Amino acid sequence: SSETFWTTTGMFPQEFIIGFPKCVKISKVAIQCYLVRTLRIEKSVSKDPVGFEECIEKDLQHTEGQLQMEEFPLPDFQATYLRFIIKSAFDHFVSVHRVMAEGT
């Protein structure tokens, strides 16, 4: 729902983990967020959310008054869990409005 979002508690880094029912092949991850400065995405192929390895770390553009929309193409990428780490922000609080993963 576009009316809901996840927000940080004010200290950084902040993180959240998304789990899939089994290991899946992902071709692209997209995120819609607000006031995120540095974002890292990590993956795990374990049965449990452990043993993460870094995939992407990016500094996002500041977009005053509108959502940041970032897409990350991920060729030959498999994961059971994705961990999103917001390392820094443009303000004390940020929000994540949507995360999308495409693949099989």
Q: What's the CATH code of the domain at 82?
A: 2.60.120.260
Domain assignment of residue 9, yes or no: no
Split at pLDDT 50, 70, 90, the class of 60 is: very high
Residue 3 pLDDT > 80: no
Partnered with residue 61 across adjacent β-strands are: none
Q: Are 93 and 34 in contact (CB under 8 A)?
A: no
The one-letter code for the residue type at 28 is K
Output the CA torsion 54→19→104→36 (10° steps).
-50
Residue 2 pLDDT > 80: no
Please indicate whether residue 64 or residue 33 has the higher confidence score (pLDDT).
33
pTM for the whole thing? 0.92
Residues sharing a CB contact under 8 Å with residue 48, sequence separation 6 or more, in sequence order: none
Domain assignment of residue 3, yes or no: no
Give the integer Cα–Cα distance in Å for 43 and 95. 21
Closest alpha carbon to 61 in 98, 30, 90: 90
Number of domains in the chain: 1
Domain assignment of residue 97, yes or no: yes
